[in-house]
């Protein structure tokens, strides 16, 4: 089962992804993609660390997501990827062909992964069009990634004010 959890900042995405993982009563591996480049981000990462279950395995992988997923996936494990938006930012900042190469690897690997995978991403395309080129490219890339993921995921959930809205239901 592949699940995409989308929503705005502080919409409850990570909390919902964790609840889904707990419901499955399987070991959980969290793949964290964020990097602490400033004090505010360090505080966000610290808050996530405090909130997660102590028995979860944590893999920090800001760029090579496909490789990390392949390495940790198994039929009896739940993987949470938190978050794809930070991963996308890391790829855009890396420059070169990192975005094309890594996103292609990720989208190729995902459908064949055994077990459950819950992916968290920020929906960024509900506001105004940014004035700078990098921000517009980021929105375009995020929108393209989300559409491709939604097509291959079994379930898509949109979070609003802590409430899950099912956009695509898992097959019975």
* CATH number of the domain encompassing residue 66: 3.40.50.300
Q: Supply the range of the domain harboring residue 155.
A: 2-168
Active site residues: 48
Contact 157, 11 (CB under 8 A): no
pLDDT of residue 171: 77
Asked if residue 128 has pLDDT above 90, the reply is no
Asked if residue 143 has pLDDT above 80, the reply is yes
Average pLDDT, the chain: 93
Asked if residue 108 has pLDDT above 90, the reply is yes
Q: Which two tokens stand for residue 1?
A: 């089962």
Question: Which pTM does this prediction carry?
Answer: 0.93
In the chain, the number of structural domains is 1
Query: Rounded to an integer, what distance in angstroms lies between the CA atom of residue 27 and that of residue 130?
Result: 41
Query: Rounded to an integer, what distance in angstroms lies between the CA atom of residue 78 and that of residue 171?
Result: 18
Lowest mean pLDDT among 35-44, 88-97, 140-149: 35-44
4 versus 34: the higher-pLDDT residue is: 4
């Amino acid at each position: 089962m592949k699940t995409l959890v989308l929503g705005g900042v502080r919409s409850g995405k990570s909390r919902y992804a964790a609840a889904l993982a707990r419901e499955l009563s399987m070991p959980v591996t969290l793949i964290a993609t964020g990097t602490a480049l400033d004090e505010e981000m360090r505080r966000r990462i610290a808050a996530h660390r405090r909130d997660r279950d102590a028995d979860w395995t944590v893999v920090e992988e800001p760029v090579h997501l496909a490789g990390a997923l392949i390495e940790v996936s198994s039929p009896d494990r739940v993987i949470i990827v938190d978050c794809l938006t930070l991963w996308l930012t890391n790829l855009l900042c890396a420059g070169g062909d990192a975005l094309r190469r890594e996103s292609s690897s990720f989208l190729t690997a995902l459908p064949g992964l055994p077990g459950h995978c819950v992916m968290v991403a920020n929906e960024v395309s509900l506001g105004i069009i940014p004035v700078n080129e990098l921000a517009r490219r980021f929105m375009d890339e995020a929108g393209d990634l989300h559409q491709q993921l939604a097509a291959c995921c079994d379930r898509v959930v949109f979070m609003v004010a802590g409430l899950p809205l099912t956009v695509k239901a898992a097959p019975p």
